[in-house]
Structure 1
Amino acid sequence: MKHKLQQMMIDILARCMDMTIATTRSDGSPQATVVSFVHEGLVLYFGCGAGSQKAMNISRDPRVSVAMTAPYENWLEIKGLSMAATATEVVLPSELTEIGRMMVQRFPQISAIQPSQAAPVKLFRVRPTIISVLD
């Protein structure tokens, strides 16, 4: 049963292109932002501006919450995930290269961005600690 549930969660991830990630500001208030992501199994990866509020929040407190729903036409079809997780910056060059490859594969439009147009970006790994399934 555990394997079947894990596969259902991976299938939902494959159908979702964006997620809402909630971080904690320095004053303790929550900040929720929508980001595009890729995943490997149940581990998620996303990028954001190196100087963004989200990146600063994560560097101070790596605890995050994530929520997403796959596209649906009526409420009886809703499938989604909600997670408590830990986010950490990806720094190893080999991992950065692999995540970049996954992002270009899932979001080919990234290839159209010229390096001179690109702002500095940080990539983060999100490891779930608790996952709830909306099915």
Structure 2
Amino acid sequence: MSRRSQITMTDDEVVDFIADRRTVVLATVKADGRPHLVPMWFVPDGSTIEVWSYARSQKTVNLRRDPRATLLLETGTAYDQLRGVSLECDVEVIEDVDDVVRIGTALAERYSGASPSDLANPEATELLRRRAAKRVGLRFTPTRTITWDHRKLGGTY
């Protein structure tokens, strides 16, 4: 058995790993061909990931031109603890305000600890709608997944 196959995560492990992470690194390609890398907060739906971003941000400009991206989620500080998921994705730019508000609401719940009832009050709803007016949603659907979990080697290399 190859080392590569020994450290590959199962589909369930990938979904759990993504759900447990707090930040994803998003890689897009600028017009000059250089990579553009940014950390993002995100909302997972299995292995599909959604974020929101300003409509005029560099990442959004890049994705409108070329709707492909790579996402990286990783953890571990010692070699025998390294784990990660790299997702090569097709990207949908979401401009419907209600969908952008939905993503913003999910981000607020995930990262601020706000409950759905906290965000349902008129002031919170209005604030999210104002923020969403300048943003787009970005939905990343994986076309290829690469994983590694060095813990599966049991300390042997």
TM-score with structure 1 setting the length: 0.81
What is the percent sequence identity of the aligned residues?
A: 22
Counting helix residues as a fraction of each chain, which structure ranks higher?
2
For the residue of structure 2 that corresponds to 1:57, the secondary structure is helix
Aligned to 1:102: 106
**What is the root-mean-square deviation in Å for CA atoms of aligned residues?**
2.7
Tell me which moved more, 92-101 or 37-46. 92-101
Aligned to 1:58: 63
Alignment of 1:96-135 (within 5 A): 96-108=100-112, 115=127, 118=131, 120-135=134-149
Alignment of 1:1-135 (within 5 A): 5-70=10-75, 72=76, 74-93=78-97, 95-108=99-112, 115=127, 118=131, 120-135=134-149
Counting strand residues as a fraction of each chain, which structure ranks higher?
1
TM-score with structure 2 setting the length: 0.71
Hey, what's the Cα distance between the residues in 2 that align with 1:73 and 1:52? 32
Q: Which runs of 5+ in 1 are unaligned?
A: none
Q: 1:102 offset after TM fit, Å?
A: 2.1
1:95-127 Cα distance to aligned partner (Å, 9 max, x none): 33432332122112787x983994822110000
Hey, what's the Cα distance between the residues in 2 that align with 1:90 and 1:45? 10
Q: Which consecutive segments of 4 or more residues in structure 1 shift more than 4 A? A: 116-119
